[in-house]
Structure 1
Amino acid sequence: MENTVINDLKKRRSIYALGKNVTQTPAEISTTIKETIRQSPTAFNSQTVRAAILFGENSDKVWDIVAETLKEVVPAENFAATKEKIDSFKAGFGTILYFTDTATVKQLENDFPLYAENFGFWAEQALGGAQQAVWTALAAENVGASLQHYNPLIDEKIKEAFNIPDNWLLRAQMPFGSIEAPAGQKEFIPDSDRFLIFE
């Protein structure tokens, strides 16, 4: 099947060997990320996805916060492996912090009470769609990335370090950079376990 979307999705892999050898400028990468999130769908066009795009020392600061936080909770004998993993994210060109705007979610819950219990779920769906879209857009430009989840452990320190609004709830971190080593082989469960087709 020749489909550019599917071909780009195949390029979107979890890249853990990241570097700083990208050809794009921070401004060009920021434009790609912003436009991709802008074009990603949200329920009721609620636009609940927020992002902080960090480069250089600001990106490094995210992973320093992760390391400092985990050092307090990971057993000392296991911390070296944890630190090595964190350093692999820090080695990248930048980091995207993904948030949900909880104020918008609460407003929708108030405005549409019949659907109130769903807006939190729909915000998560919107976030997942935006993350995959950004990840794929970066992969299409030969920029590797992975998706990490150190929240809620780092939430307060991140808010303080970057003056994040209180209504932005941290949901994920995406380190990105040059692809210094390819991803491993991807395995798939059988189609019969995943799909139902009715013709």
Structure 2
Amino acid sequence: MRTEDLIRALAHDSASRSESVARRLVTRALVGVLAALCVFALFLTPRPDLSVVIVTPRVAFKFLITLALVGAAGALTLRAMRPEARSSLWSVLIPVLALLAVGVAAELISSPPAAWRPLLIGSNALACLALVPLLSLLPLGSILAALRYGAPSQPRFAGTIAGLLAGGIGSALYALHCPDDSPLFVAAWYGLSITVISVLGAALGARWLRW
């Protein structure tokens, strides 16, 4: 076999494997979403006014933030599956945090200072801290299982990104139920809940994704 043919064959094999790895991640992530939907159906219901309020700025912003996190973390998770990948956590966090900061600033400007604390605390902070991680656990397990099929060279980092992706999925599902719509609430309690699942992902990744 000529050298050029060998190079083409290796490139084709590498591309095929990359497509297979990406396909497996997407499939496992979808399985995790379906499993989380089952958990949601067992323990929660969509808020009664969802069809009305979903187009309001606060509620739309809540879904924008959570789905932006899913998109950014999902793209980085695909990269983290490859051994040569070198990415920064900030490539996910900076765009999402910047978007969140805009929403928080708009809330502070449009609300009187006396309302800031009630908007921050809301009425479901403890439920958020419990239910977002609960809804994120099965997606996290599915995503970590897919990452094991790849070859991440930074297992703790890959686990952290998997946690962010799972946390974004769990928080988007919880947003269907949660009546607290203030960006202040989202920043504090959704943010803390996603941090919890990301720390868990980092710990599990360091243990399960080593090779």
- Structure-2-length-normalised TM-score: 0.30
Larger % of helix: which? 2
TM-score, normalised to structure 1, is 0.31
Point out the structure with max Rg over C-alpha: 2
